[in-house]
Chains A and B, each alone.
Chain A
């Protein structure tokens, strides 16, 4: 949990306490809605466009409390994106599986100083994703897709054809495959490095 998370959580708790406390004070009769102040009890103004003011202290508590809650929620909202990519590869050959990778272009702007320190700012660009369609013996295809075209978080590639076929599959030559006595992890094993 970062410092920002703690501050946002405390802001939300403060807002909640003010709203619940206001309701409690109203219930206990300590403050009443009929107690109107001659002066403005609470006035909130945002960039000269939104102005909320009330003469009732009880309403003021609600307004300030809600402002705390809404601010905490706004600043702690998730900025993660998630897309579902769907499509169909045409012209598959048996025994020739197709791999699909999705890459996100990122701009890189940095330099290494004399002492070797690197300072870089990376800006992920979420507006275009690049889908790489790879099959053994075929030229790789790179398909850029614009995320603004997503519908309900789904990006459709439609029908995809493989790139140009460059190489026929060679025969398996057992002399190329070293027989090992060591126990090696299977190809399905999770990558370790």
Chain B
């Protein structure tokens, strides 16, 4: 019983997480593969790298839900191509990011 109570307590105190998804395309609306996508937060830190697929889609998983904003960064190799602010309070689709 005590073990079950402890497990319930751990489950209840575990931070809620969400998935952030979207797509990166060029000016011709073609998805760009192989880009590195991160979510960054001044306190929570940087997410693990997510790579866009052959259609430019990405899914950043296990994002801790917060009330303040994250920054979504898109990198072409070592070059920052885009950064935008988002708030993650549930599974979020940021839509299409266009790199012209």
A contact set with B: CB distance below 8 Å: 95-97, 99, 134-140, 166-173, 176-178, 180, 182-185, 187, 189-193
With both beta carbons as reference points, the residue of chain A lying nearest to B54 in the complex is identified as A139
Given A136-B32, A138-B34: A170 touches B80 (CB 8 Å cut-off): no
Instruction: Kindly identify which residue among B26, B45, B83, B84 contacts A185, using a CB–CB cutoff of 8 Å.
Output: B45
8 contacts between A and B (CB under 8 A): A99-B36, A134-B33, A167-B30, A168-B26, A170-B81, A180-B85, A189-B46, A193-B62
Q: Are A177 and B83 in touch, CB under 8 angstroms?
A: yes
Which residues of A have CB within 8 Å of B100?
170-171, 173, 176
Which of the listed residues A134, A137, A167 has the most CB atoms from chain B within 10 Å of its own CB? A167
- Of residues 1 through 47 on chain B, the ones whose CB sits less than 8 Å from some CB of chain A are 26-27, 30, 32-36, 38, 40-42, 44-47
B contact set with A: CB distance below 8 Å: 26-27, 30, 32-36, 38, 40-42, 44-49, 51, 53-54, 62-64, 71, 73, 75-85, 97, 99-100
> Dominant SS at the A interface?
loop
Q: Are B80 and A177 in touch, CB under 8 angstroms?
A: yes
> Dominant SS at the B interface?
strand
Given A170-B99, A192-B46, A193-B63: A177 touches B34 (CB 8 Å cut-off): no
Instruction: Kindly identify which residue among B34, B44, B97 contacts A193, using a CB–CB cutoff of 8 Å.
Output: B44
Q: Are A139 and B33 in touch, CB under 8 angstroms?
A: yes
Which residues of B have CB within 8 Å of A134?
33-34, 51
Instruction: Kindly identify which residue among B33, B42, B49 contacts A191, using a CB–CB cutoff of 8 Å.
Output: B49
Which residues of B have CB within 8 Å of A97?
77-78
Q: Are B47 and A140 in touch, CB under 8 angstroms?
A: no
Instruction: Kindly identify which residue among B33, B48, B78, B82 contacts A138, using a CB–CB cutoff of 8 Å.
Output: B33
With both beta carbons as reference points, the residue of chain B lying nearest to A171 in the complex is identified as B100
Which residues of A have CB within 8 Å of B71?
178, 180, 182, 184
Q: Are B54 and A137 in touch, CB under 8 angstroms?
A: no
